[in-house]
Amino acid sequence: MSSPATSNDREKVVSKLPGWLRQNLKVRAAQHGIEIQQAVEQGIADWCRLASTPHTIDTAGADSFSTFLPPGMWDDCKRVASERGVSLTQALSQSVQLWLDSNPSPEVVRPSITRRIIVCNQKGGVGKTAITAGIGEAFAEDSDRLYPVRAAKQLLKALRAAQDTEQTAPADSDPSDVENLPGLGMRVLLVDFDPQCHLTNQLGAKPLPMDGDSLTNHMGGTPRGDLRDLITPVEPETFGDRLHLLPACNDAFLLDVRLSSVRAREAALERALAPIEADYDVIIVDCPPSLGLSMDAAAHYGRRRDGEEPGRSGTLIVVQAEDSSADAYDLLTNQIEDLRTDLNLAIDYLGIVVNLYDGRRGYIATSSLQGWVDIRDPRVVGLIGDLKEQKEAVRVKQPLLSYAPKCQQSVSMRALAREIS
């Protein structure tokens, strides 16, 4: 609990509260963006004003609970509890439950236009797949639970620390930078657009068979069924059936050839995914390491649509802090700029993610990171350390945020999702 222990206008109160009620209070206060002590204060004030005693709360197993209240409020609560013939633990529990009933969980705000995030870089090995999965998992986490997130205001601090101190994982090293926040509760579709099927395999799914239906068929104008039939849930017990995957098929190696004979080929991915967009709040596309027609189709799909606010959809570029990523970045952005100009499209850059960062690599890493920061548009929106948990999650074919929900990479993935949300 975050409370101003040295505040002069409040007094510390120690009582008891059931663990389940304490957890509900913690989550709900975070959802409404207020301190726990404010919620308790409102609940006690409202409880004292009631004309009759509410239903009895099961306080079995209640343990110590402390907070800070305005002077005299706890004495008033004691007096009313005595008049109503209930214990202080029961009085506090009823007050907290009253506040919870009066302040229900807010509805998840869903976008009016499904967001499309295109995770790209034609250079292989930069970790596009890990970023795609990580932010998708972060978007889909339960809005009625709290998760550790690195405070957004600490990103610049982390970047400076990385450059100045050459730490292994500077973006996550200070525990004081982490806060517990509700999950975003979005309905998310991850699209494995890479014929190598890395995203599909990493999440424990099976690639689609070559002799069946696939996204390639739908983009090529020869669908063999409903695209929904190809989609599979990702750990519904963890993500509550909010996270889905459209698996890849090796036939995507032939996609550029297929697209060369398709009319309005740049819009092929949009035509394929349009029928299922209404089922999701966010669609994240894991692009192949390619600058071909498939990349044109992906960038076109992420363009800003009529009535859509800038920065809601667009390209998220994943790089590493080394020289070859800079060369690949130039080639990619040139292709996007050509597409913008040739087709008069508004394609927004959502930002740059510097992935697999390890300051122990010295000057090469820190100077390259400085180069990414200096670009400014697009700006660096994430710095992800090169740590073991991601590799372990891939080995056991589990989502990182369920395999190691409190690890530094998970904390950073949640921060990244919020940075671009």
What are the domain boundaries of the chain?
11-102, 115-419
Tokens of 262: 């398709």
As a whole number of angstroms, the distance between CA 398 and CA 386 comes to: 18
Three-point CA angle 225, 128, 303, nearest 5°: 65
How confident is the model at residue 170, as a pLDDT? 46
314 neighbors 120 (Cβ within 8 angstroms): no
Task: Enter the pTM of the model.
Answer: 0.90
Q: Looking at residue 164, what is its pLDDT?
A: 60
Q: How far apart are CA 395 and CA 132, in angstroms?
A: 17
Instruction: Give the 3-state secondary structure of residue 364.
Output: helix
- Whether the Cβ atoms of residue 190 and residue 245 lie closer than 8 Å to each other: yes
Beta bridge partners, 393, equal: none
Q: Which helix (H) or strand (E) holds 146?
A: strand 146-150
What is the predicted pLDDT for the residue at 2? 40
- What string of pLDDT tens digits covers the 421 residues of the chain? 344 444 568 999 999 999 999 999 999 999 999 999 999 999 999 999 999 889 999 999 999 999 999 999 999 999 999 999 999 999 999 999 999 999 999 999 999 999 999 999 988 889 999 999 999 999 999 999 999 998 765 566 666 665 565 444 444 445 557 899 999 999 999 999 999 999 999 999 999 999 999 999 999 999 999 999 999 999 999 999 999 999 999 988 888 888 888 888 999 999 999 999 999 999 999 998 888 899 999 999 999 999 999 999 999 999 998 878 888 899 999 999 999 999 999 999 999 999 998 878 788 788 888 889 889 899 999 999 898 999 999 999 999 999 999 999 999 999 999 999 8
Q: Is 201 exposed, middle or buried (0-12, 13-18, 19+ CB in 10 A)?
A: middle
Amino acid at 415: A
By the 8 A CB rule, do 345 and 303 touch? yes
Q: Would you identify the CATH topology of the domain 115-419?
A: Rossmann fold (3.40.50)
